Structure 1
Amino acid sequence: MIVSAHAMAMDFTLDVDDSVDEQLLRETMLHVERDLTWADSVFSTFKADSCVSRLGRGEIAVADCPPAVEQVLDLCAEYSESTANAFTAIRDGGQIDPTGIVKTWAMDRVRWRLDALQARGWLWGCAGDAMVSGIGPEAGRAWRVGIAHPEDRFRSVGAIELGRGHTAIATSGTSIHGDHIWTTTGGAPWYVQASVVGDDLIACDAWATAIVAGGESVALAAQEHGMDVLALRMVDGQVVADRSPGWRWAA
């Protein structure tokens, strides 16, 4: 069964096996949507009354916000350090902007609700980011996730399998959604798109964004942290892919 929730101006999709009670699934997704909507109300940089927007204007302090704000900012600081500042939640001028991980943080935050369904398996995804649990929809096969073309979200450059070794994937890019990526040097991003697979969706998201902003050295650092990477460049209108040794396309 495939069900969805709409929040943050995006559609979040849950693919779950047919053993789950449909009424329980509907009720769960209502709670999930409310959780995601709450996260948007707190972290959106597009809502003038959100905590993050008010923080940016100096109207309130972190201590005045829900504890989740400090948690997310701490994560941003952690990833900024591990990526040598290729990932940062501080824009030029000092504006706080944790957009780079807020969506995947919100997705991970509701995972307990999905686990409570006691499904044999599920895939939880949104706009290039996904996590999986349990078995895939076909007996004996892992979950398959497609990688969108950097200039056309309706085309695919290939697919990978999740659930055998890695359980999460995040994709960041500049061609379709570039407003959340900036470099600390002010130059153009090195890659137009990066996909990172690992076991922590938030970490994959932070590293994918950092790779686009920071380039090859950051992609190598991600591998040292146990993740596999697909980084895409556009050369004369053609996609050129740099892959880590562990990256495996689905058959």
Structure 2
Amino acid sequence: MGTVFSFDVRGGEPGAVRAALEAAVAALHRADVMFSTYRDDSQLSRLARGELTLPECDPEVAEVLELGAAAERVSEGWFSTSYRGSLDPTGIVKGWAAERAARLLRAAGATGVNVNGGGDVQLLGTPGTGRPWRVGVSDPLRPGGLAAVISAAGADELSVATSGTAERGDHIVDPRTGRPAVTDLVAVTVVAPSLTWADCWATAAFAMGSRASLTWLESLPNVEALLITTADEIHCTEGLPHHLT
């Protein structure tokens, strides 16, 4: 998946949580191997070349492709699981894998889980009594600064995902042209219960541009967003202030 994952896990029986952490790390490595577009022997590469059928792949491949197809429908094609005509669901894999890892730890009894995959975060439970998780959102126009701090107060599960050009340049593609998206946005941060979807919606919204994406994001249930334009304008959905500290 080309990024670094970190874990902050609180509470639970130490032996069970340690075993779940090992399983979560193994699952992330397995997802990386399974879905890599850089490995000729990955299941995704072999599926794309027609050397495997979908039923011959591990069940996770079908699961991710189904989720990607749903994201494409909801975003009216602004999110896609293809790149220049080739199968490429990597836009959903990182969020899906991080969320799945977090839920493995919670199921093992951890009372607070924070899984960070390259700056996109899945939060479950709390880090302590009366203490919510908080996530800083980097200001892409002011290196080292924060555009906002998101609080998970009152939410048992929350995710924060950002798409933009600050870290990786023009890597987000307009599915209609197959070329880097031409947009007035420099970053989109989406707040939602599920990182799988937050990651997808942030990518789709960035490609749309600020005006269309703000209207679309407002229509999604349990989704809030912060948009920063190249002109240093900040736009947010109506409910986002409830998540800010």
- The structure 1 residue matched to 2:134, chosen from 138, 144, 148, is 144
Equivalent residues in 2 for 1:154-233 (5 A)? 154-165=144-155, 167-178=158-169, 181-186=172-177, 187-215=181-209, 216-226=211-221, 227-233=223-229
How far 1:56 sits from its partner (Å)?
A: 2.6
Q: Tell me what 1:247 maps to.
A: 240
State how far apart, in whole Å, the 1-side matches of 2:69 and 2:216 are.
17
Q: Tell me what 1:77 maps to.
A: 69
The number of equivalent residue pairs is 238
How far 1:111 sits from its partner (Å)?
A: 3.3
Is the contact between residue 48 and residue 86 of structure 2 (CA under 8 Å) also seen in structure 1? Answer: yes
Q: Tell me what 1:3 maps to.
A: none
Q: Does 1:127 pair with 2:85?
A: no
Task: Give, as a single letter, the amino acid of the residue that structure 2 aligns with 1:90.
Answer: S
How far 1:131 sits from its partner (Å)?
A: 1.8
The CA deviation string for residues 133-166 of structure 1, in whole angstroms up to 9 with x for no partner, is 22234x4232100112336774422211014246
How far 1:86 sits from its partner (Å)?
A: 0.6
How far 1:24 sits from its partner (Å)?
A: 4.2
Q: Does 1:102 pair with 2:96?
A: no
Where 1:167 maps in the other structure, the secondary structure is: strand
Distance 1:112 1:246, change over 3 A: closer
State how far apart, in whole Å, the 2-side matches of 1:81 and 1:41 are.
27
Task: Give, as a single letter, the amino acid of the residue that structure 1 aligns with 2:9.
Answer: V
- Identical aligned residues as a percent: 32
The TM-score normalised by the length of structure 1 is 0.84
Equivalent residues in 2 for 1:29-108 (5 A)? 29-92=21-84, 94-108=85-99
Distance 1:117 1:66, change over 3 A: closer
Task: Give, as a single letter, the amino acid of the residue that structure 2 aligns with 1:12.
Answer: F
Segments of structure 2 that go 5 or more residues without pairing to the other structure are none
The TM-score normalised by the length of structure 2 is 0.86
Task: Give, as a single letter, the amino acid of the residue that structure 1 aligns with 2:116.
Answer: G
Superposition RMSD on alpha carbons, in Å? 2.3
The CA deviation string for residues 64-122 of structure 1, in whole angstroms up to 9 with x for no partner, is 21121111111111111111101011122x11111111011112223342113423322
